[in-house]
Amino acid sequence: MNIVVAIKHIPSIADDLPVKGNNVDFDSVDFVLNECDEHSIEQAVLVKEAVGGTVTVIGVDMIGELDNALHLALAKGADKAVKITGDDPAADSHMQAKWLAEAIKGMGANIVFAGVQASNDLDGQIGPMIAAYLDMPYIGGVSSVEATGDSATVNKEFAGGVGAKYSVSMPLVAGVQVCVKPPRYAPMSKVRQMAQTATIEKVAPSGDSSSGLVFKKMAPPVVTGHAEMIEGSSKEVAKKIVELLKSKGLA
């Protein structure tokens, strides 16, 4: 089985997001792997462990620091790592989807995994667009994948706790929301070993695309209200909560 995982490096929100001009100040923010992509890598490695094959992890190098994420993926069980030398921290998901599709095109993938969305833009377009460019079916909201021969059984989540099981023919693109198991831990000794021994293939970005969106202004959200702490004994607190609910017409 030839498995490809498309990953996305995004600005970390552990810190206050610094703004410069009409976009994020990319020079003063850390980049991290998108959380859905961590699940996506785990799901890919689980499929490989079940049926055999190779896992290739590929991503756009936004600020020249993607190697860390790729070494981590290799330590978790991926076999090959590829980075597209984008060097444009502002490249949007449409641009990245085009570059990724062009690079994945010749890989002969049976399954392409992509995180269903990324927390920086919540755009959710990388998976579907890769599928469109490569003329493959796409299924999103994926919470488990079992591959057998030339088809896969995929669980997809819908709103309100509803799920459905699909049988999908391969090749396919799966937008992973969550892996069937929590992502495994890669011991640092393995990660460092990968950093010293693994080779990361470099690919120049090819093609052009854009979401068409123009950033006019970006600003941190304005704090408008604060939480009110209700003091007193548990009885007093309960009484105040009931009063509050009544005053809002909720009780």
Partner 1 sequence: MAGPIKAKFVEKEHAIVDGVDISGHWNRMFEQRVITEYTPELIEKIADLPNAESFANCYQCAKCVAVCPVDVVGNYGPRKLYRYAQTGMDLTEAPELWLCTTCANCLRVCPKEVNMVKIMPAAREEAILQGKFVPAELQQAFENTAKSGNPLGQPQRKRDAWIQSAGVPVPIIKDLGRKVSVLWYVGSYPSYHPRGIDAAAAAARIFNALGIDFAILGKEEKDDADSQRLAGEKGLFEMMTEQNIETFNKYEWDEMVVTGPHELNAFKNVYPKYGFERPVVHYSTFLARYLDQLKPLLKHSVKKKITYHDPCYLGRHNGEYEAPRKLLEAIPGVELVEMQRNRENGYCCGGGGGGMWMDSFTAKHTTMRLSEKRAMEAASTGANVLAVACPFEVSRFTDAVKSTGNEHVDVLDILELLDRSMRGEQ
| Closer to partner 1 by Cβ: residue 189 or 199 | 189
Q: Is 219 left (phi over 0), alpha (psi -120 to 50) or beta?
A: beta
**Least distance to partner 1 from the beta carbon of 189, Å?**
3
Strand partners, 19: 24
Asked whether the CA dihedral 137, 140, 99, 84 is positive or negative, the reply is: negative
Looking at the chain, the number of H-run helices and the number of E-run strands are: 6, 13
User: How far apart are alpha carbons 34 and 148 in whole angstroms?
Assistant: 28
Long-range own/partner contacts, residues 180-184 (CB < 8 A, 24 or more apart)? 180/43, 180/46, 180/143, 180/144, 180/145, 180/155, 181/42, 181/46, 182/42, 183/38, 183/39, 183/41, 183/42, 183/76, 184/42, 184/45, 184/76, 184/77
Residue 63 or 132: the one with the smaller Cβ distance to partner 1 is 63
Residue 217: phi, psi to the nearest 5?
A: -155, 145
Q: Which residue number, 32 or 172, has a Cβ lying nearer to partner 1?
A: 32
Contacts with partner 1 in 10-39 (CB under 8 A)?
A: 12, 14-15, 28, 30, 32
Asked if 65 is part of the footprint of partner 1 (rule: CB under 8 A), the reply reads no
Pairwise CA distance, residues 122 & 112, whole Å: 20
Query: Interface with partner 1 by CB under 8 A: which range of 3-11, 103-111, 165-173, 179-187?
Result: 179-187
Q: Considering the rule CB under 8 A, would residue 250 count as an interface residue with partner 1?
A: no
Q: Residue 219 Cβ, how far from partner 1 at the closest point, in Å?
A: 20
Residue number with CB closer to partner 1 (143 or 151) = 143
Q: Which of residues 192-211 bind partner 1 (CB under 8 A)?
A: 192
Q: Any contact of residue 188 with partner 1 (CB under 8 A)? A: yes
Binding flag, residue 184, partner 1 (CB under 8 A): yes
Nearest distance, CB of residue 5 and partner 1, angstroms: 19
Tokens 């990953």 label which residue?
7
- Name the residue nearer to partner 1 (CB basis): 143 or 209: 143
Min CB(139)–partner 1 separation in Å? 28
Q: Compute the distance between CA of residue 96 and CA of residue 81 in angstroms, rounded to an integer.
A: 17
Interface with partner 1 includes 230 (CB under 8 A)? no
Question: Which residues sit at the interface with partner 1, rule CB under 8 A?
Answer: 12, 14-15, 28, 30, 32, 182, 184-185, 187-192
